[in-house]
């Protein structure tokens, strides 16, 4: 079976190389101006580089669109007339609603649609990673053939019932998770300091926060923008996260201890109750992975970002453990440190006392509060250019340490999940 890939960017290239190494005949293309570059980049492989998407679609039995979610409609419209009769069409976008809409609108009815989403970045090989597969429209035979193609990636395949379920899970595991870490990065940038130079960010939980934030900002802004703005389920969850953070922050500055405690303990009971497989992060491992060569003296932290996340899950009725089936490393780490905080009675009590009465951390909480509002407004208004600009400003602030942070986070993830 001939495989065609329209969009040989980072992820498309990873898949192309893997499929070619497994003996498939792979055709691919990208923007016309990248034709020569791609010929050189793939010269050590059997991947055949063609000029246009129409050229690729014409020869592909299995056709993968690996383009930005914001461009999927335009690209599908340009190539739909060239797809082969009875071919299998897939997409590698991280939000499926606009992708499926484009497939339904432009593709002929005789093609099969079996779409996918790799839950890892291009820095990782496909082996052992999670891969979501959604059978949107196909015969049993076509689905079997598509499944064989996906199996060749040697990923852990997760079959999801429909694209809406996919997007609903991604709203929690990716869109809101990323926004939380983006808000932390923005707060530190606006405050004008690196968190690893500050005593309030020197314990194990904060090492995870810092490394995950740097990991996110080491990637491309458009990936996160598409996840947040184009996913129809994301705005509801982003809105609740911002609301939870704002309401908790108001209780903190008004020192409303009874209401604050009641809210935190209700959220804790909802999320962390019952018999389940808890993540149970190793505190010694979290402590070892840090950006600072020498940390300042330990200072308690309000952990407002985590309190707000757990409260948002509670308020919206989301059980985050159910979404671990489609987990990403940042989501697992975020749930893991939230669990670590809430299941450690002494640490949670210290956090509540700090949040309510420790004025030394209040300025940082205000910066975080403002950052959450900024990100929530950008997503609410669907401001794609604003999202990209906001992201890149923070990325520039941390630019000297992003590569180190991403490498450390990869080692941290490997250590905590081994």
In a shared domain, residues 105 and 182: no
In a shared domain, residues 278 and 409: yes
Residue 384, domain extent:
165-417
End-of-domain residue from the set 115, 137, 160: 160
In a shared domain, residues 129 and 186: no
In a shared domain, residues 176 and 121: no
In a shared domain, residues 235 and 292: yes
> pTM of this prediction?
0.87
In a shared domain, residues 98 and 138: yes
Output the pLDDT for position 290.
75
In a shared domain, residues 240 and 383: yes
CA-angle at 69, arms to 65 and 74, nearest 5°: 70
Region at 7 (left for phi over 0; alpha for psi -120 to 50; beta for the rest):
left
In a shared domain, residues 369 and 292: yes
CA-to-CA separations, 169 to 132, 277, 294, in angstroms, rounded: 11, 19, 39
Which pair of structure tokens corresponds to residue 67? 């383009």
Helix H or strand E segment including 384: helix 384-397
Number of domains in the chain: 2
**CA-wise closest residue to 390 among 214, 134, 179, 106:** 179
In a shared domain, residues 62 and 198: no
Which pair of structure tokens corresponds to residue 201? 């960010």
Question: For position 60, which CATH number holds?
Answer: 3.40.50.720
Over its length of 418 residues, how does the chain's per-residue pLDDT go in tens digits?
Answer: 999 999 999 999 999 999 999 999 999 999 999 999 999 999 999 999 999 999 999 999 999 999 999 899 999 999 999 999 999 999 999 999 999 999 999 999 999 999 999 998 887 789 998 999 999 999 999 999 999 999 999 999 999 999 999 999 999 888 899 999 999 999 999 999 888 887 767 778 998 999 999 999 998 898 899 889 999 999 999 999 999 999 999 999 999 999 999 999 999 999 998 777 788 888 888 887 777 666 667 789 999 999 999 999 999 999 999 988 888 888 989 999 999 999 999 999 999 999 999 999 999 999 999 999 999 999 999 999 999 999 999 999 999 989 888 888 888 888 876 6
| 82 contacts 60 by C-beta, under 8 angstroms | no
In a shared domain, residues 338 and 225: yes
CA atoms within 13 Å, Cβ hemisphere of 330: 28
Helix H or strand E segment including 386: helix 384-397
End-of-domain residue from the set 109, 137, 160: 160
Q: What 3-state DSSP class applies to 159?
A: strand
| 237 contacts 312 by C-beta, under 8 angstroms | yes
In a shared domain, residues 232 and 378: yes
In a shared domain, residues 233 and 147: no
| 378 contacts 390 by C-beta, under 8 angstroms | yes
**CA-wise closest residue to 153 among 134, 127, 132:** 127
End-of-domain residue from the set 160, 192, 220: 160
């Amino acid at each position: 079976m001939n495989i065609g890939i329209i969009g040989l960017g980072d992820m498309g290239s990873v898949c192309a190389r893997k499929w070619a190494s497994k003996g498939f005949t792979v055709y691919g293309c990208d923007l016309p101006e990248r034709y020569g570059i791609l010929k050189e980049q793939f010269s050590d492989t059997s991947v055949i580089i063609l000029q246009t998407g129409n050229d690729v679609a014409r020869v592909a039995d299995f056709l993968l669109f690996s383009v930005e979610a914001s461009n999927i409609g335009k690209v599908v419209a340009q190539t739909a007339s060239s797809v082969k009769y009875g071919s299998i069409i897939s997409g590698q976008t991280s939000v499926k609603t606009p992708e499926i809409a484009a497939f339904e609108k432009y593709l002929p009815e005789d093609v099969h649609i079996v779409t996918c989403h790799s839950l890892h970045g291009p820095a990782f090989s496909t082996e052992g990673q999670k891969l979501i597969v959604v059978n949107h429209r196909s015969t049993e035979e076509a689905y079997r053939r598509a499944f064989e193609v996906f199996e060749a990636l040697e990923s852990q395949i997760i079959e999801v019932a429909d694209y809406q379920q996919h997007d609903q899970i991604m709203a929690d595991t990716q869109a809101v998770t990323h926004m939380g870490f983006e808000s932390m990065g923005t707060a530190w940038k606006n405050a004008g300091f690196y968190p690893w130079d500050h005593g309030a960010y020197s314990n194990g939980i904060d090492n995870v926060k810092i490394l995950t934030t740097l990991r996110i900002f080491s990637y491309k802004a458009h990936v996160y923008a598409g996840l947040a703005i184009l996913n129809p389920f994301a705005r509801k969850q982003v809105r609740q996260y911002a609301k939870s953070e704002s309401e908790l922050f108001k209780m903190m500055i008004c020192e409303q201890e009874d209401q604050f405690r009641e809210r935190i303990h209700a959220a804790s009971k909802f999320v962390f109750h019952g018999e389940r497989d808890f993540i149970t992060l190793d505190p010694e491992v979290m402590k070892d992975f840090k950006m600072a060569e020498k940390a300042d003296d330990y200072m308690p932290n309000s952990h407002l970002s985590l309190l707000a996340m757990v409260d948002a899950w509670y308020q919206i009725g989301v059980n985050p453990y159910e979404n671990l089936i489609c987990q990403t490393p940042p989501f697992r780490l975020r749930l893991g440190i939230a669990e670590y905080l809430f299941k450690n009675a002494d640490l949670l009590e210290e956090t509540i006392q700090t949040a309510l009465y420790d004025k030394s951390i209040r300025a940082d909480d205000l910066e975080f509060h403002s950052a959450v509002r900024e990100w929530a407004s950008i997503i609410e208004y669907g401001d794609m250019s604003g999202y990209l600009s906001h992201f890149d400003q923070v990325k520039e602030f941390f630019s000297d340490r992003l590569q180190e942070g991403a490498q450390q986070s990869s080692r941290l993830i490997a250590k905590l999940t081994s």
